[in-house]
Chain A
Amino acid sequence: PGSRLTPTGAGQDVGRSCILVSVAGKNVMLDCGMHMGFNDDRRFPDFSYITQNGRLTDFLDCVIISHFHLDHCGALPYFSEMVGYDGPIYMTPPTQAICPILLEDYRKIAVDKKGEANFFTSQMIKDCMKKVVAVHLHQTVQVDDELEIKAYYAGHVLGAAMFQIKVGSESVVYTGDYNMTPDRHLGAAWIDRCRPNLLITESTYATTIRDSKRCRERDFLKKVHETVERGGKVLIPVFALGRAQELCILLETFWERMNLKAPIYFSTGLTEKANHYYKLFITWTNQKIRKTFVQRNMFEFKHIKAFDRAFADNPGPMVVFATPGMLHAGQSLQIFRKWAGNEKNMVIMPGYCVQGTVGHKILSGQRKLEMEGRQVLEVKMQVEYMSFSAHADAKGIMQLIGQAEPEHVLLVHGEAKKMEFLKQKIEQEFRVNCYMPANGETVTLPTSPSIPVGISLGLLKREMAQGMLPDAKRPRLLQGTLIMKDSNFRLVSSEQALKELGLAEHQLRFTCRVHLHDARKEQETVMRVYSHLKSILKDHCVQHLPDGSVTVESILIQAAAHSEDPGTKVLLVSWTYQDEELGSYLTSLLKKGLPQAPS
């Protein structure tokens, strides 16, 4: 037994999440993502690493997808259809619903726009999705007799989940991407105190502690509001899923609250389909949406309408959400070109922009942009930046570790330098081992397997009845016989063991002599011993018997004068082996001598 873990993607890196875990002999693949940064073979994980030869299905017990972002599920059709995997793929219902939309979109861009050959086809996506098994929140799914998985809520995007993988008594928790602070449409990640052997957590924001989201939201709303009141137009370039919905909800509720009339548009496309799923999976959203959907589903927007190309030239204020998010192509860029010349207008960039895109240029303050065809576009509109990110920050990660109380922590999905800091913090504050393997590097975790021992009910009850007070902290001595037979262990009472083995019982008694320097009479010595023991052993029954001996529970103490030295008394202490603990304690106590009696 023991766990082995190898990231084939996302090890000290963001993107292409794909982690192989072997828990107690069961092999599980966590996520199957693509890398945004590459267009060649490197965009997909190296699946040949998993089995040098032989089928993947034979090697992997199951595949788990944490959420629908392409860097977590992008390579799935390739993996299952082109490389060949027929085992089960587990994901949550929203992921199952939205994932194919994104895959299809991805395929379209890759094949139709970039003209790539040897890419997976629409049919492959469909076939791949047929292998998917849905897992609901907190549902425990038995993959096979030993392997079971369980999903926890992760925030981040709709349907994102953390997974617990459990084989026997060993368990691993994989967080996927998660968010510990709730936002306008999703709740916060939550896990119970499951104490896994290993927690694999993302660490995108390992070195960041974020400010309250309220200020950000307020700033955002205030800016949009002011611009609209001025009669200006607001452009918000977004990626179609995830943040876009949050911003929609934010604006929608604000419009509702403030009774605003200016139109809000959402550029169509895959969004509409996705929005449909957002409406359906209400149980995966946050408290407010869940509570109010009976009156009105918050995703049925009242103020947000579908965008038409012609609307961009309409006079008067408006707010438009358009894809893509970095202003590098498509509708958002078209609208940007139209509106850029008017200083009343505003563009709000809600996320990070890659270098080289128009978004990055305007954010870094460039006011004159060269467009294709040698045109120069002068940007007079206001440019704003708002960061809405849905990953846990350093505090959030620590909070989750605190909630789950793992034995080991492993960091993935982050930059090496940042991980280093977090690793050090985790080790320092939780005193657990923390690992951060690179891609292809294998981490082996030693586990101390627990061996179950059966105890007979009679023995247990007898022991429970003996001890008056429960005290979890103090170890309790239990007497019994351990029988190992047919590779199982049983703890039974000694009588029963004797009976089973057909043996007779022997009494074993220890006796010990303790020399005491005491010139007084035997009787007096005994009295002194008695009072001494009485004062020390308050919890035990100490008795002075008429025949001149002292008993502590079942231990007998007798005193006799030393045959040679009358100044020394010999104390005879005798106990059975069941009382070994108390007996040896008593002798050591008596060996220290009696306290000086007040003379």
Chain B
Amino acid sequence: MAAHLKKRVYEEFTKVVQQQQEEIAAKKLRLTKPSKSAALHIDLCKATSPADALQYLLQFARKPVEAESVEGVVRILLEHYYKENDASVRLKIASLLGLLSKTSGFSPDCIMDDAINILQNEKSHQVLAQLLDALLAIGTKLPENQAIQMRLVDVACKHLTDTSHGVRNKCLQLLGNLGSLEKSVTMDAEGLAPRDVQKIIGDYFSDQDPRVRTAAIKAMLQLHERGLKLHQAIYNQACKLLSDDYEQVRSAAVQLIWVVSQLYPESIVPIPSSNEEIRLVDDAFGKICHMVSDGSWVVRVQAAKLLGSMEQVSSHFLEQTLDKKLMSDLRRKRTAHERAKELYSSGEFSSGRKWGDDAPKEEIDTGAVNLIESGACGAFVHGLEDEMFEVRIAAVEALCMLAQSSPSFAEKCLDFLVDMFNDEIEEVRLQSIHTMRKISNNITLREDQLDTVLAVLEDSSRDIREALHELLCCTNVSTKEGIHLALVELLKNLAKYPTDRDSIWKCLKFLGSRHPTLVLPLVPELLSTHPFFDTAEPDMDDPAYIAVLVLIFNAAKTCPTMPALFSDHTFRHYAYLRDSLSHLVPALRLPGRKLVSSAVSPNIVPHEDPSQQFLQQSLERVYSLQHLDPQGTQELLEFTIRDLQRLGELQSELAGVADFSATYLQCQLLLIKALQEKLWNVAAPLYLKQSDLASAAAKQIMEETYKMEFMYSGVENKQVVIIHHMRLQAKALQLIVTARTTRGVDPLFGMCEKFLQEVDFFQRCFIADLPHLQDSFVDKLLDLMPRLMTSKPAEVVKILQTMLRQSTFLHLPLPEQIHKASATIIEPAGESDNPLRFTSGLVVALDVDATLEHVQDPQSTVKVQVLYPDGQAQMIHPKPADFRNPGPGRHRLITQVYLSHTAWTGLSHLARMGRKMCSWGSYPCLEPCQVEVRLLLAYNSSARIPKSPWIEGGEVSPQVETSIEGTIPFSKPVKVYIMPKPARR
């Protein structure tokens, strides 16, 4: 088969479309084997009772049917259907019809007539419903065929009056899925009057069965999803359904109202029982808000979720959602939020509560109190206090979305969000912290709010604390007391949970750089300097002190007066920290000192364009000069690679692109070098050494191409082609080298065959991109393919060799966004001298904490590898729950790795460990040993390759090339001391 395919490919590989068609035809021929339909027919004839027949059908349904035999099977089923008296068997047949018509590659229009026919005579409601379901499957399979759709809609309309809810349900579903989008005039001629699907469906909004009502609304929503513009008249109908007795109806109605409100936000609707009119979107908003206090939590969740996406609502209505008028004994009372605000503005913050502080004030006019709020009033107040956390989360999310679009609302909802920080469910707390972070641009925290926020820093959950640190990074604080408070609480946090160190430092870095003027007056206090006396020099290794310094130094960056307040040791500490924690401490303009390396500081990026230009130019230079003499090319490549690598180091934004291109050029360089070997043409066995170099190059190119393919995010298909092309060249090189170094022909046969298969595979995978590869290695190779197929290995090698030399250097188009995946292991830090002790043979858990940048789908690709000193390697797959996603492109891996080892004894270990061991004899070694922990990126080459349609069909046998799995280490290894102790007996 494969050989057959190949030939065809080489004969006419330019006519892409035609070739595929032929494929299908070829398959059809092959599949006229003992057909399933015949077997089924026999089975069904054998069946004596309905139960038997049902059994056969069930068995039959377990296996898939090929597209070619579907029609035959359907005929047999139908034949049996007419004869069958038992409803359950007919039901199964009907369901099979639906299943079969979904078979890919089968066009079900031929069985539609039969299906409609049997529909006419069917009595059982269940079977009817199932048949309609089958029709739905047929209809969705043929979306272009207007006539069929019209006909099906007609059938559906006819059965809408059925007494069974199941049938009406299915009919409505059919209408929703197939109802014509535009009234097509052409259809009139055929006698099928275009129906107003919306009106028909709308009539069933008041069906007696709630399931049918739901189905009607769903059908309407389906129409909307398919692009049909719903009439505004539906709005009123849907509003009536909001007070339906059944929750699924209400839930669907809420959705429908939302849809209509998005379609006609600006139209005007009257308010019942008054002369006023309001915008439709406001009205809908009010109605959905009302549903937030519905009796069913499903509806509440639905309503709360939808509220978030109603951005056109007017601010007046929006702000009502947070409004709740309190009263006590008919007297107006202020909410705790209002009181807190008042206390704060009167300068009496944290005065403590007095008895009667919340005493009600003025009397309320009994007539004016409205206990059932119409419209939006207090919707979020209710939603956030709901019994079910699902509702609360939905409400928080909605709050977030609305606040992002309205700064004034953001300011108002702050109090409520802060309250949610104390929810009983951690998920809700986390969600509200994230929400707060997202809207932090629009808000400034009051001191009392900050106080509540900071109280959460003591939370025992690491996620919560870190989310809070992130929040503080981008919070605006209004007063210097606020900054001080934040610092004090963070230091408390640091003392309580020392593992939060990095996160806290980072947080203070941003806090400092955002509020330089607020930090300034605090500096003397924070550094505990005294105007007259020298104070003791603080301990440089104290994380708390470092935290304070990070805050101050970052504030000092934009506040030139600040360094004047530093004492001598502060400057010394600055120099030290600038070196050791350069990512946290910025370069400062210190009095009397030069600005340290300001030119290359990543913080001062003057313009982006020159470096971008530079990159482009150097790449263009390489690509344009490809025909120079090899020597020149090599040199140019070397220079360019060097340039690019340096550029990547300097410009973090361009690092991905630069590295990516540099790697590619490196591959090319290796290839050229390998081909430059002078002694290529001489008989092989003599020059093993040289070919060694070439084979090493081939190997390295392979590795690099895998890195290029899988370690960068944002690689597009056109790059993948080039990468694969490069890999193909490397494989050719390998083949040539092997051919030169091995004697005998037999192994070569296999290799040649394999290589040709790979070429074939390449050709099939990237058939669409082949035109871009003009003049390339592959291009030429494919031209000669028929010849290669028939030639002997030695010839093949020869051809390949010349082609490799002639092949041109392919231009690598740069992707828009490309980032190199990287990982840093934060913990274990690898600095500790204290070994991890455990009893040998038992397990010790090692906490691993790492940040991953630009890793796609880390849950499946990132692995942890542990290398034991005796050479054992262990691969650990972290749980999906161990990955967190703190920001776009960033992931955090917090997991536990279980280590275990027997006590090491004997000299074999010693040798490997390279340690000096004294006379232990056979006693267990008590010396701690190092294990290495590193992160690996696992890849599977089949993942990236675009699938051609007929590979999907499962017809093609799994290729050799399709799934090469491997791993790329992408973090620096960290060494951990462990010390297994012998078990006590």
Selecting from B58-66, B437-445, B454-462, B927-935, the interface stretch reads B454-462
User: Given known contacts A207-B330, A211-B333, A471-B203, is B371 in contact with A424 (CB within 8 Å)?
Assistant: no
Interface: A192 (CB within 8 A): yes
CA distance A517 to B561 in the complex (A): 105
Q: Is the beta-carbon distance between A208 and B295 smaller than 8 angstroms? A: no
Contacts of A193 in B (CB 8 A): 245, 295
Interface string of B190-227 (1 = CB under 8 A from A): 00000000000001101110000000000000000000
Question: Of the candidates B206, B324, B326, B370, which one forms a contact with A473 in the assembled complex, judged by CB atoms under 8 Å apart?
Answer: B206
Q: Is the beta-carbon distance between A258 and B366 smaller than 8 angstroms? A: no
Q: State how many angstroms separate the Cβ of A195 from the closest Cβ of chain B.
A: 9
Closest to A213 in B: B385
Q: Which of A195-225 contact B (CB under 8 A)?
A: 207-219, 221-223, 225
Q: State how many angstroms separate the Cβ of B321 from the closest Cβ of chain A.
A: 14
Contacts of B355 in A (CB 8 A): 363-365, 383, 385
Interface string of A143-173 (1 = CB under 8 A from B): 0000000000000000000000000000000
Interface: B372 (CB within 8 A): yes
User: Given known contacts A207-B328, A209-B324, is B460 in contact with A256 (CB within 8 Å)?
Assistant: yes
Interface: A113 (CB within 8 A): no
Interface string of B309-342 (1 = CB under 8 A from A): 0000000000000001111111001011100000
Q: Which of B629-656 contact A (CB under 8 A)?
A: none
What band does the interface of chain B fall in when counting residues whose beta carbon is under 8 Å from A?
35 or more
User: Given known contacts A212-B419, A363-B355, A382-B352, is B336 in contact with A470 (CB within 8 Å)?
Assistant: no
Q: Is the beta-carbon distance between A287 and B335 smaller than 8 angstroms? A: no
Q: Which of A250-308 contact B (CB under 8 A)?
A: 253, 256-259, 286-288
Interface: A394 (CB within 8 A): yes
Contacts of B352 in A (CB 8 A): 382
Interface: A429 (CB within 8 A): yes
Q: Is the beta-carbon distance between B336 and A219 smaller than 8 angstroms? A: yes
Q: Is the beta-carbon distance between A472 and B420 smaller than 8 angstroms? A: no
Q: Which of A208-251 contact B (CB under 8 A)?
A: 208-219, 221-223, 225
Question: Of the candidates B419, B455, B460, B461, which one forms a contact with A214 in the assembled complex, judged by CB atoms under 8 Å apart?
Answer: B419
Interface: B388 (CB within 8 A): yes
Q: Is the beta-carbon distance between A394 and B387 smaller than 8 angstroms? A: no
Closest to A184 in B: B424
Closest to B464 in A: A257
Interface: A398 (CB within 8 A): yes
CA distance A184 to B461 in the complex (A): 20
Contacts of A256 in B (CB 8 A): 460
Selecting from A19-27, A122-130, A461-469, the interface stretch reads A461-469
Q: Is the beta-carbon distance between B330 and A182 smaller than 8 angstroms? A: no
Q: Is the beta-carbon distance between B353 and A219 smaller than 8 angstroms? A: yes
Interface: B826 (CB within 8 A): no
Closest to B369 in A: A425
Q: Is the beta-carbon distance between B203 and A469 smaller than 8 angstroms? A: yes
CA distance A530 to B178 in the complex (A): 39
Contacts of A364 in B (CB 8 A): 355
Interface: A33 (CB within 8 A): no
Question: Of the candidates B324, B333, B452, B459, which one forms a contact with A258 in the assembled complex, judged by CB atoms under 8 Å apart?
Answer: B459
Contacts of B245 in A (CB 8 A): 193
User: Given known contacts A181-B385, A257-B459, A418-B329, is B372 in contact with A398 (CB within 8 Å)?
Assistant: yes
Interface: A403 (CB within 8 A): yes
CA distance A564 to B329 in the complex (A): 83
Count chain B CB atoms within 10 A of each CB in A211, A218, A256, A259 and give the residue with the most. A211
Interface: B425 (CB within 8 A): yes
Q: Is the beta-carbon distance between B325 and A470 smaller than 8 angstroms? A: no
Closest to B388 in A: A287
CA distance A365 to B355 in the complex (A): 8
CA distance A377 to B206 in the complex (A): 73
CA distance A500 to B474 in the complex (A): 86
Q: Is the beta-carbon distance between B326 and A210 smaller than 8 angstroms? A: yes
Question: Of the candidates A192, A215, A365, which one forms a contact with B419 in the assembled complex, judged by CB atoms under 8 Å apart?
Answer: A215
Interface: B381 (CB within 8 A): yes
Contacts of A334 in B (CB 8 A): none
Question: Of the candidates A218, A288, A363, A403, which one forms a contact with B295 in the assembled complex, judged by CB atoms under 8 Å apart?
Answer: A403
Interface: A188 (CB within 8 A): yes
Q: State how many angstroms separate the Cβ of A189 from the closest Cβ of chain B.
A: 10
Contacts of A209 in B (CB 8 A): 324-328, 333, 371
Contacts of A187 in B (CB 8 A): 387
Contacts of A465 in B (CB 8 A): 161
Q: Is the beta-carbon distance between A218 and B419 smaller than 8 angstroms? A: yes
User: Given known contacts A219-B336, A221-B422, A421-B366, is B385 in contact with A214 (CB within 8 Å)?
Assistant: yes
Q: Is the beta-carbon distance between A208 and B328 smaller than 8 angstroms? A: yes
CA distance A471 to B496 in the complex (A): 68
Interface: B121 (CB within 8 A): no
What band does the interface of chain A fall in when counting residues whose beta carbon is under 8 Å from B?
35 or more
Question: Of the candidates A191, A207, A214, A259, which one forms a contact with B496 in the assembled complex, judged by CB atoms under 8 Å apart?
Answer: A259
Q: Is the beta-carbon distance between B419 and A402 smaller than 8 angstroms? A: no
Q: Which of A465-513 contact B (CB under 8 A)?
A: 465, 468-473
Q: Is the beta-carbon distance between A424 and B353 smaller than 8 angstroms? A: no
Interface: B386 (CB within 8 A): yes
Q: Is the beta-carbon distance between A214 and B371 smaller than 8 angstroms? A: no
User: Given known contacts A218-B419, A383-B355, is B385 in contact with A398 (CB within 8 Å)?
Assistant: no
Q: Is the beta-carbon distance between A259 and B460 smaller than 8 angstroms? A: yes
Interface string of A398-422 (1 = CB under 8 A from B): 1100110000000000000010010
Interface: A344 (CB within 8 A): no
Contacts of B324 in A (CB 8 A): 209, 211-212
Q: Is the beta-carbon distance between A259 and B458 smaller than 8 angstroms? A: yes
CA distance A425 to B365 in the complex (A): 12
Interface: B389 (CB within 8 A): yes
Q: State how many angstroms separate the Cβ of B705 from the closest Cβ of chain A.
A: 48
Interface: B293 (CB within 8 A): yes
Interface: B275 (CB within 8 A): no
Q: Is the beta-carbon distance between B326 and A211 smaller than 8 angstroms? A: yes
Closest to B334 in A: A211
Interface: A441 (CB within 8 A): no
Interface: A190 (CB within 8 A): yes
Q: State how many angstroms separate the Cβ of A244 from the closest Cβ of chain B.
A: 18
CA distance A470 to B210 in the complex (A): 13
Q: Is the beta-carbon distance between A384 and B353 smaller than 8 angstroms? A: yes
Q: State how many angstroms separate the Cβ of B123 from the closest Cβ of chain A.
A: 14
Interface: B959 (CB within 8 A): no
CA distance A256 to B460 in the complex (A): 7
Q: State how many angstroms separate the Cβ of A51 from the closest Cβ of chain B.
A: 39
Q: Which of A65-104 contact B (CB under 8 A)?
A: none
Contacts of B206 in A (CB 8 A): 470-473
Closest to A386 in B: B353
CA distance A50 to B337 in the complex (A): 51
Q: Is the beta-carbon distance between B424 and A253 smaller than 8 angstroms? A: yes
Q: State how many angstroms separate the Cβ of B851 from the closest Cβ of chain A.
A: 25
Interface: A395 (CB within 8 A): yes
Interface string of B143-171 (1 = CB under 8 A from A): 00000000000000000010100000000
Closest to A422 in B: B371
Q: State how many angstroms separate the Cβ of B254 from the closest Cβ of chain A.
A: 17
Q: Is the beta-carbon distance between B329 and A212 smaller than 8 angstroms? A: no
CA distance A425 to B337 in the complex (A): 27
Question: Of the candidates A216, A222, A287, A394, which one forms a contact with B389 in the assembled complex, judged by CB atoms under 8 Å apart?
Answer: A287
Q: Is the beta-carbon distance between A258 and B460 smaller than 8 angstroms? A: yes
Contacts of A384 in B (CB 8 A): 353
Nearest 8 interchain pairs by C-beta: A215-B336, A182-B387, A214-B419, A258-B458, A207-B330, A398-B371, A188-B387, A259-B460
A-B contact pairs, 5 of them (CB 8 A): A207-B327, A207-B329, A209-B333, A215-B337, A464-B163
- List 17 extra interface pairs beyond A209-B328, A219-B353, CB under 8 A: A181-B385, A190-B295, A211-B326, A212-B335, A212-B336, A214-B385, A214-B423, A218-B452, A257-B461, A259-B496, A288-B389, A363-B355, A394-B371, A403-B295, A425-B369, A461-B163, A471-B206
